[in-house]
Chains A and B, each alone.
Chain A
Amino acid sequence: MELLHNLYLGFNVAFAPVNLLFCFIGVFLGTLVGVLPGLGPAATIALLLPITFSLRPETALIMIAGIYYGAQYGGSTTSILVNIPGEASSVVTCLDGYQMARKGRAGPALGISAFGSFIGGTLSVVGLMLLGPWLAGFALQFGPPEYFALMLLGIVILTFLSKGSMVRSLISAVIGLFIGTIGIDPIYGVQRFTYGTLTLMDGVGLVPVAMGLFGIAEVFTNLEEPEVRDIFKTKIKGLLPSLKDWKESIGPITRGSFIGFFLGILPGGGAILASFTSYATEKRLARDPESFGKGAIAGVAGPETANNAATGGAMIPLLSLGIPSNVIMALLIGAMMIHGIKPSSFLVSEHPQIFWGIITSMYVGNILLLVLNLPLIPLWVKLLKIPYGILFPLILLFCLIGVYTVNNNAYEVLIMLIFGVLGYLMRKVGFEPAPLLFAMVIGPIMETALRQSLLRSRGDFSIFFTRPISAVLISAAILLLLLPLLPRVGRQRETIVKEASDE
């Protein structure tokens, strides 16, 4: 009964005209940037953060969530048509999706990925609705040691899954944690590394760092690439999958929903891991595994469902524990804090309209995406033909405006440029920027949790191992850190991340 009441509350929020409008804007923009190479969801959300200042918090968060799952939709379109994954999580879709397109079956490939995404997205929202409040209740037992352990595990999982060497990703994360300490010490109020400048007093801003690392640095990286984009030149017809297609896809879609949802919950895990696992599962279960890589529809349906189902799973740690599970969720936390909402396990009880509003808006958003995307596919294909030379000055312009308007501070433009160069150089030498941003956001929470734990235990580090939940989490983190040292696991991890790095 309570669930029905909550759903009613949520739908009241989601169906408010202004929220519907921004949900639409969110999924539309999300699909757009998912399609466009060189502008990902992280940069887009950073870009739009300033616009959300004047909105009500639930409206802002509904739009940002829309960008996130919308981008997963858009990413698959380019995978299938151009063999370029718009997002890392659509890398595996290239394998069979592009082959389907080459055989003249681009329509059903796009169709099944849209339907699969819809089903996966919707089922994961149901899961989020059932599991979220329960986990939030469970999280009330969490003290500072558990929070510290959970965030440590998040960082380790994220670095484990990052492409390239784990040491480099860990370095990236530690630098992020350090950047998070710049500003005023959360416990004693002492200024740290600010050099007396007002700009750094509040800490290094999330928006300039995110836009630098993901907007400006992407532009720099793309400027190096020669302009070749081979767009598939057949007419796309018959988006609706046939009955036979459905028969072959229904199993992968069902399994993909579960795989995606549960892997999405893992902090640091999410869509990439989900799509790979789903592909591997389907290949193993298939009657004719040889057909995979040659245009098997199951190889499109499974991963595309899984990466969208993961978006629902990823919301769980955020909404029920206040902990981000990936960079996008870290930006969502940033947005919440800008609106004066402290993400924590009290979110459900303190701001039910936000918790249930976001969840129900995701149902609405998934329907909007389905309705929006099937007819708009030809438009997205046209967009792919815009040369990068025209596109990149516009991306720069948006970054410059976005970063300036946060605080009307020109120095933040400089910070963005610095992080732009840093992000570019990091990419060149194989450091992933995502762990840096992620760690920077959770840094202050993690530091506070660590210091509070030590205060509570009177300086005894064993507090992290004597409390059961924290002991399990820390052990898992240590295990993951040591795993790549085993040659077999190390090699397997390398293969997965290497495939993912061909985006």
Chain B
Amino acid sequence: MEKQRTDRISGLIVFFLGIAILWQGRHLSIGTPRAPGSGFFPMLLAVLLMILSLFLVIPKNAEERSSFSARHLGRVSMVFVALLVYFAFLEYLGFVIMSFLLMAFCFIRVARQKWYFALFWAFVSIGLAYLLFDVLLKSNLPRGVFGF
């Protein structure tokens, strides 16, 4: 994406974030400078954000801009979706199953390892993690419907 456009867009997002904070915090009392209320500080920050965003939106010399370029976005989104699925089913299927699937997926699909290699290392890493956190440190990792 073109540099100047990236800056404009991020500036606009920050500006609307400021507006969103003002809107979402409208019921908080701002109070007076003499006795600032709960909304005082958040509102101050929202206004600051909006002012700062203007510096991004107005055009300036080329060196200061940043750009958005995406290579291998496929790999990143693949891992992100896998993590979302992990979150969605974590409490239902439990730590052991979900983590095993996640590890195996990453090793096979993203790191492109042989499947037997991937399954072996997924098994070993989950086993060690379970031993360390659940058995030794008693961290209460989520158990799914199968009870483990």
Contact = CB atoms under 8 A, between A and B. Distances in A.
B41 A400 contact: no
A152 to B, nearest CB: 12
A424 B72 CA distance: 13
Given A224-B71, A389-B113, A429-B10, A461 B33 contact: yes
B106 A451 contact: no
Contacts of A458: 34
B59 interface: no
Contact of B107 (A54, A167, A390, A410): A390
Contacts of B17: 175
Contacts of B49: 171, 174-175, 178
Contacts of A438: none
Contacts of B79: 219-220, 223, 392, 396
Contacts of A421: 80
Interface in B70-109: 70-73, 75-76, 79-80, 83-84, 86-87, 90-91, 95, 99, 102-103, 106-107
Contacts of A50: 139
Nearest to A181: B42
Contact of A167 (B35, B56, B110): B56
Contacts of A177: 41, 45
Interface of B: 6-7, 10, 14, 17, 21, 24-25, 28, 32-42, 45-46, 48-49, 52-53, 55-56, 63-64, 66-73, 75-76, 79-80, 83-84, 86-87, 90-91, 95, 99, 102-103, 106-107, 110-113, 121-122, 125-126, 129, 133, 137, 139-142
Interface in A437-454: 447, 450-451, 454
B139 A429 contact: no
A175 B17 CA distance: 9
6 closest cross-chain pairs (CB), A and B: A389-B111, A430-B66, A459-B33, A459-B34, A393-B106, A405-B139
Contact of B139 (A401, A451, A461): A401
Nearest to B130: A401
Contacts of B10: 168, 429, 431
A413 B95 CA distance: 12
A484 to B, nearest CB: 10
A311 to B, nearest CB: 28
B74 to A, nearest CB: 10
Interface of A: 50-51, 54, 164-165, 167-168, 170-171, 174-175, 177-178, 181, 185, 187-188, 190, 192-193, 216, 219-220, 223-226, 387, 389-390, 392-394, 396-398, 400-401, 404-405, 408, 410, 413-414, 417, 420-421, 424, 428-431, 447, 450-451, 454-455, 458-461, 494
Contacts of A429: 6-7, 10, 66-68
Nearest to A414: B87
A358 to B, nearest CB: 23
Contacts of A219: 79
B68 A389 contact: no
A502 B117 CA distance: 35
A390 B111 contact: yes
Nearest to A444: B41
A305 to B, nearest CB: 33
Given A190-B38, A219-B79, A413 B90 contact: yes
Contacts of B91: 410
Contacts of B71: 224
A224 B70 CA distance: 8
Contacts of B121: 390
B107 A171 contact: no
Given A397-B103, A410-B91, 11 more contacts: A171-B53, A174-B52, A192-B28, A193-B25, A224-B71, A224-B72, A387-B111, A397-B125, A405-B137, A405-B141, A417-B83
Contacts of A225: 72
Nearest to A393: B106
A400 B100 CA distance: 13
A91 to B, nearest CB: 20
Contacts of B46: 178
Given A396-B83, A401-B133, A167 B52 contact: yes
8 contacts: A165-B66, A220-B80, A397-B99, A397-B126, A408-B142, A410-B142, A451-B41, A494-B63
Interface-centre pick from A190, A193, A404, A424 (highest chain B CB count, 10 A): A404
Nearest to A421: B80
A223 B110 contact: yes
A381 B113 CA distance: 23
Contact of A54 (B14, B67, B137): B137
